[in-house]
Amino acid sequence: MYLEHWQLREKPFENTADPRFLFRSGAHEEALNRLLYAVREKKGAAMLSGVFGCGKTLMAETLKMELSSGGRYKTAFIFNPLLSNVEILREIVFQLGVRDHLPKEKTELLHVLGDLLLQNANDGKNTVVIIDEAHVIDERIIFEELRLLLNFQKQNMFLLTLLLIGQPELKEKVNQIKQLQQRIAVSYYLDRLNPEETRQYISHRVRTAGQNDPIFTPEAVQLVTEHSGGIPRRINHLCDLALMAGFGKGARTIDKDIVQDIAKDLEL
């Protein structure tokens, strides 16, 4: 392991959606603000789409963390929506806290869910349902089921906020279902980082992992920018392998030759 060599507390470029490592680029900040706005203002539905590996799941995890403090929100987080419409309903009800005697029938599930939402509202709590990877949903009936959740209302206020998150196809799928598209009150498209943001991203993650001195030379950063296309998951992958290779060579910094070798290997 290279931690000791680079004097790091932990690995800076792990490909997990860990909010502690969040780098607040302008776009990530905006994405988070819009999702928070949708939730706080009880906007019904919101959508976050964007290229693979650009931080959508991290935004969802960060939002969930922000909502969990203060006890004002009840959140269901579905990260694998390849389920039938009834299974999705069951999963939502389960995650909202009903662990025993989960009904199997749809009508009963809807009754339990309706009661739960009302109970939450009466307790002064907002209910949030986050569906990550929503672009994998193929059947229209599932989107319909999700849309119908927005019919749970009290005095014209939505009893839950639905957040749909996924890759660019999600936007196309939603746009094809006009009734759903019209219900999306807030929407955002998360893009790749620009070169300056990529530079800041790398140094932010290194610092968060406990090393305040730069490890990557400016030329190395430039190459990471080119080979990653500004996609954080790719940046992580390249940088992690570069740290490993640099450690193997006993290097004091990561220069452009190390990054070049890694990039070449990855392309093979």
Ligand X SMILES: Nc1ncnc2c1ncn2[C@@H]1O[C@H](COP(=O)(O)OP(=O)(O)OP(=O)(O)O)[C@@H](O)[C@H]1O
Which residues are at the interface with ligand X (CB under 6 A)?
A: 15-18, 21-23, 25, 28, 50, 52-58, 167, 232-233, 236
The entry of ligand X, Mg ion, none that residue 81 binds, CB within 5 to 8 Å by partner kind: none
Binding mask 176-195 for Mg ion (x = CB under 5 A): --------------------
Q: Which of 25, 49, 57, 236 binds Mg ion (CB under 5 A)?
A: 57
Dihedral sign from CA coordinates of 54, 179, 88, 64 = positive
Q: Which is nearer to Mg ion, 133 or 145 (CB)?
A: 133
Please report how close the Cβ of residue 209 comes to Mg ion at its closest, in angstroms. Answer: 22
Residue nearest to Mg ion (CB): 57
Binding partner selected for residue 162 from Mg ion, ligand X, none, CB under the kind-specific 5 to 8 Å limit: none
Task: Output 56 or 199, the one with its CB closest to Mg ion.
Answer: 56
For residues 116 and 110, give the distance between their C-alpha atoms in angstroms, rounded to a whole number: 10
Instruction: For the CB of residue 61, give the shortest distance to ligand X in the complex, in Å.
Output: 8
Q: Is 189 helix (H, G, I), strand (E, B) or coil?
A: strand
Q: Which is nearer to ligand X, 31 or 117 (CB)?
A: 31
What is the 3-state composition of the chain as percent helix, strand, coil, each rounded to the nearest 5?
55, 15, 30
State the Cα–Cα distance between residues 93 and 112, nearest whole angstrom: 8
Closer residue to ligand X in complex, CB, 57/203: 57
Residues 6+ apart with CB under 8 A from 187: 34, 46, 47, 48, 49, 171
How far apart CA 152 and CA 216 sit, in angstroms, is 52
Backbone angles phi, psi at 21, to 5 degrees: -95, 5
Nearer Cβ to ligand X, position 183 or 192?
192
Binding partner selected for residue 6 from ligand X, Mg ion, none, CB under the kind-specific 5 to 8 Å limit = none
User: Dihedrals φ, ψ of 49, to 5°?
Assistant: -125, 170
